[in-house]
Homo-oligomer: A and B are copies of this chain.
Amino acid sequence: MADAEGLRLYGFWRSMAAYRVRVALNLKGLHAQETALNLDAGDQFAPEYLAVNPEGAVPALIEPGHAPITQSMAILEYLEEAYPQVPLLPADPHGRARVRSLCGLIVSDTHPLLTPRVGNYLRETAGLDEAAMRAWRLHWITRCVTAMETRLTRDAATGAFCHGDSVTLADICLASLLAVAKTMGFQPANAPTVTRIVEACEALEAFQKASPSRQTGAPQSASLR
């Protein structure tokens, strides 16, 4: 097991990806000192941060003596390998594949479309107005929730959580989508299984402590443009 001394995390209060890492750290009983960047103000493009992550994105996890780890799934897989206590992937390869596939539906197929960089491009270069931006966000969140609901309802492997009765990376990813969707004023409709599982997650302290509204930089009301 790796030594968790001195872990540091770069995050942003409403970053879906930073939320995922925070939850995993909490579940594994690890502490990382978090530096809150303000992505709305462009902190991610400061030269000091670009030296950490040339992509100008959060999160980045730093373990003393090692290169920064970027990309939330890479960080989550790393934490799983380096800190195997409280496993967040099942033991069998097909179960692991199912969990990672559910993660991909959120982390790859949906989350990138909701990032500030994509929103900025669509507003500033493609000329979408706020109503069109809202429709865009709603479209992709709804598509993701619908696909998750179909899979979770269909699959016998679904339990109290996305895969069986303990938390996996799939729950962390699903909760991250809904937590940030909430800051956009979105509530899932006609998705009882998704809703039930997210409620089960949000009943856990590890998720509560990671929530956007409780992070440095969050507005008082934690509701979003």
Any B CB within 8 A of the CB of A205: no
Any B CB within 8 A of the CB of A225: no
Q: Which residues of B contact A135 (CB under 8 A)?
A: 125
Which A123-164 residues have a C-beta within 8 angstroms of B? 125-126, 128, 132, 135-136, 139, 147, 150-151, 154-155, 157
Q: Which residues of B contact A74 (CB under 8 A)?
A: 97-98, 100-101, 103-104
The CA of A109 and the CA of B16, in the complex, are separated in Å by 13
Interface stretch (choices A41-49, A75-83, A181-189): A75-83
Any B CB within 8 A of the CB of A108: yes
Contact check: which of B69, B71, B118, B125 meets A105 at CB < 8 Å? Answer: B71
A107 contacts B108, C-beta separation under 8 Å = yes
Q: Which residues of B contact A139 (CB under 8 A)?
A: 121, 125
Q: Which residues of B contact A2 (CB under 8 A)?
A: 93
Any B CB within 8 A of the CB of A197: no
Any B CB within 8 A of the CB of A70: yes
Contact check: which of B63, B108, B151 meets A73 at CB < 8 Å? Answer: B108
> How many residues of A are in contact with the other chain, CB < 8 A?
51
Copies of this chain, how many?
A: 2
Contact check: which of B54, B96, B132, B151 meets A77 at CB < 8 Å? Answer: B96
Which residue on B lies nearest to A150, using beta carbons?
Answer: B54
Q: Which residues of B contact A128 (CB under 8 A)?
A: 126
Contact check: which of B67, B82, B157 meets A93 at CB < 8 Å? Answer: B82
A66 contacts B78, C-beta separation under 8 Å = no
Any B CB within 8 A of the CB of A172: no
The CA of A66 and the CA of B93, in the complex, are separated in Å by 11
A67 contacts B155, C-beta separation under 8 Å = yes
Any B CB within 8 A of the CB of A55: yes
Which A163-213 residues have a C-beta within 8 angstroms of B? none
B54 contacts A147, C-beta separation under 8 Å = yes
A-side residues, CB < 8 A to B, are 2, 54-55, 57, 63, 66-67, 69-75, 77-78, 81-82, 93-94, 96-98, 100-101, 103-105, 107-113, 118, 121-122, 125-126, 128, 132, 135-136, 139, 147, 150-151, 154-155, 157
